[in-house]
Chains A and B, each alone.
Chain A
């Protein structure tokens, strides 16, 4: 018997007895909770509830991680079944503006089943390639479900349907903010890190300044960029032509770059310093120049640490880019803050859920890259 499995089963059964979906008269007002077995006819719901229960029970035995994994997939299937059967049924005859959304019970079960999946996977310890395949499978399944339209009756997807173009725009903007600032920070941070590695004095000044920048709260940083870039946009000829202005993309981008510098520079310095003295001695003995030592010894050996820095930056920037929505910088934050202003829960979710998904996916991909870069693993095996 697996103790976490027991915990999941207990919590899961408790969550099953909480409201599974809500039906609201329109997109703003609070809805009324509906139990999992009452979302539609019992002949349809009871198998769904039973499947979720069975999935939770399969999570119990600690000796068979594969069985637990299958249990979590089964349970998630049950959740999907109840949602897609319940939504049209609840909406029938409920009025033109009625909205149906998943409720607390659904979200708790979703989290519990995903934790069960993560716990069983942790036991199986899949290699980097297997994890990549798994991420692709999960993403594919999610895309298929959304594309097939079985959930299109849900309120969050109704919000999406009424702003498809804006959403596509937000995706591109968010990616441009997160990855663009990562690339810029890397382009500035690597040379700076190598310089700091070579010159001890420089390190003593640059790293404290960068960690000082890191402590400035994000909203303040984004806000402070506005007057600075506004001033640059007004005074420097041609700056406005390339999009530098007080409001919008530029201040958000610059704020993200500033936040990214510490992890990039700090990890480059740590990574380069991590080469064992014996390896450096050998390289020197072979007659390598300092440049060759850097490229052939220090960089390859430090790569995992340097990539870890990039992972931190990417995950952090995906999250911080949300704040760009407050200063007109676009991205998923636009929906989050619009939703908060209109108290439209599903609009908030339309911004928050893709952000979380993007952050988790970036973390998984970067972890795989870090592992592949580690000497003696992955390709090199």
Chain B
């Protein structure tokens, strides 16, 4: 992709400028703000909001990955076979739960703030990772597994040296889906008083200040697109390495 080579650094620079030097964009956003209203969101620094947003997503995704991959390893062993149909049912049903509803349902249990957001992101993030990890572990080429057994690797060695590396690209697809959903859901986390970039958008919606809405939307959108793209690149790299 020739376009990607130019577009990617340009978008990264745009994002950095939007987050670090928001004042530069005053003339761009000024026509969108209502008469006399502030143009650039200044109630808290965009950098700290971005870091807090990304931090929430990173923490939730890391926890979700650890738990989901462990569970996937368990249900793809012989001992966990009995839980396979149940786990499939849970992932199928769980993914029909709207992320916003999961977030809203976490509030009565956990109160306001970062807590319910983190839990909602974690729970919702589990499903795609688990589903893809199970797919990855159950579609390994039988000949490779046979060969691993043949050269005398024990079960633990087979898992660590053969199964996990081979299933990694598929797992990464699940993690990517989970990250993109989490970035979006974390935005809505602002409605339950978590510090995320959604704060900017919601402040804009409440005061009908379109400049805030566009500013927040643009930053979150750029983060999502760039992170998604980075993970796609990483997956392609891994596939080339394992499959090539």
Q: Report which A residues bind B (CB closer than 8 A).
A: 2-4, 62, 104, 115, 118-119, 122-123, 212, 215-221, 223-224, 226-227, 230, 246-247, 315, 318-320, 322-323, 326-327, 333, 336-337, 339-340, 343, 345, 348-349, 351-352, 355-356, 359-360, 362-363
Name B101's contact: one of A212, A220, A319 (CB within 8 Å).
Answer: A319
- What interface size band does chain B fall in? 35 or more
Name A227's contact: one of B32, B100, B228 (CB within 8 Å).
Answer: B32
Residue B175 interfacial (CB < 8 Å): no
Q: Which of B18-26, B161-169, B202-210 contacts A (4 or more CB under 8 A)?
A: B202-210
Within 8 A of A (CB), among B205-223: 205, 208, 210, 213-214, 216-218, 220-221
Cβ distance A191 to chain B, nearest Cβ, rounded Å: 26
Cβ distance A254 to chain B, nearest Cβ, rounded Å: 14
Provide the bound-state CA to CA distance between A230 and B209, in Å. Answer: 12
Q: Report which B residues bind A (CB closer than 8 A).
A: 32, 82-83, 85-86, 88-90, 92-93, 95-101, 104-105, 107-109, 112, 180, 183-184, 187-188, 191-192, 198, 201-202, 204-205, 208, 210, 213-214, 216-218, 220-221, 224-225, 228
- The answer to whether A217 and B183 touch across the interface, beta carbons within 8 angstroms, is yes
- The answer to whether A218 and B184 touch across the interface, beta carbons within 8 angstroms, is yes
Give the 10 A-B residue pairs with the shortest CB-CB distance, closest first: A319-B98, A217-B184, A220-B217, A345-B108, A223-B213, A3-B82, A219-B187, A322-B100, A363-B96, A352-B101
Within 8 Å CB of B101, what residues of A? 319, 322, 336, 352, 355-356, 359
Residue of A nearest to B1 (CB): A208
Provide the bound-state CA to CA distance between A197 and B120, in Å. Answer: 38
Cβ distance A333 to chain B, nearest Cβ, rounded Å: 7
- The answer to whether B225 and A216 touch across the interface, beta carbons within 8 angstroms, is yes
- The answer to whether A104 and B213 touch across the interface, beta carbons within 8 angstroms, is no
Within 8 Å CB of B192, what residues of A? 340
Name B221's contact: one of A216, A318, A340 (CB within 8 Å).
Answer: A216
**In the complex, number of A-B residue pairs with CB atoms less than 8 Å apart:** 143
Provide the bound-state CA to CA distance between A216 and B227, in Å. Answer: 11
Within 8 Å CB of B180, what residues of A? 215
> Can you list 13 A-B contacts (CB < 8 A)?
A3-B82, A115-B89, A118-B90, A123-B85, A215-B225, A216-B220, A217-B224, A247-B208, A333-B100, A340-B104, A343-B112, A360-B93, A362-B96
Within 8 Å CB of A360, what residues of B? 93, 96-97
Give 5 new A-B contacts, CB below 8 A, not counting A319-B98, A351-B104, A359-B97.
A104-B109, A122-B86, A216-B224, A320-B100, A356-B101
Name B85's contact: one of A119, A336, A348 (CB within 8 Å).
Answer: A119
Q: Which of B104, B198, B204 has most chain A Cβ within 10 Å? A: B104
Within 8 Å CB of B99, what residues of A? 319
- Given A319-B100, A356-B98, are A227 and B214 also a contact pair (CB < 8 Å)? yes
Within 8 Å CB of B217, what residues of A? 216, 219-221, 223-224
Provide the bound-state CA to CA distance between A340 and B82, in Å. Answer: 40
Provide the bound-state CA to CA distance between A320 and B184, in Å. Answer: 11
Cβ distance A46 to chain B, nearest Cβ, rounded Å: 28
- Given A215-B225, A326-B191, are A336 and B104 also a contact pair (CB < 8 Å)? yes
Within 8 Å CB of B105, what residues of A? 348-349, 352
Provide the bound-state CA to CA distance between A362 and B221, in Å. Answer: 29
- The answer to whether B202 and A326 touch across the interface, beta carbons within 8 angstroms, is yes
- The answer to whether B191 and A337 touch across the interface, beta carbons within 8 angstroms, is yes
Residue of B nearest to A362 (CB): B96
Residue of A nearest to B204 (CB): A223
Provide the bound-state CA to CA distance between A222 and B160, in Å. Answer: 44
Residue of B nearest to A319 (CB): B98
- The answer to whether A227 and B210 touch across the interface, beta carbons within 8 angstroms, is yes
- Given A217-B224, A319-B98, A351-B104, are A226 and B109 also a contact pair (CB < 8 Å)? no
Provide the bound-state CA to CA distance between A320 and B181, in Å. Answer: 12
Within 8 Å CB of A216, what residues of B? 217, 220-221, 224-225
Within 8 Å CB of A319, what residues of B? 97-101
Provide the bound-state CA to CA distance between A247 and B210, in Å. Answer: 11
Provide the bound-state CA to CA distance between A4 and B98, in Å. Answer: 26
- The answer to whether A336 and B184 touch across the interface, beta carbons within 8 angstroms, is no
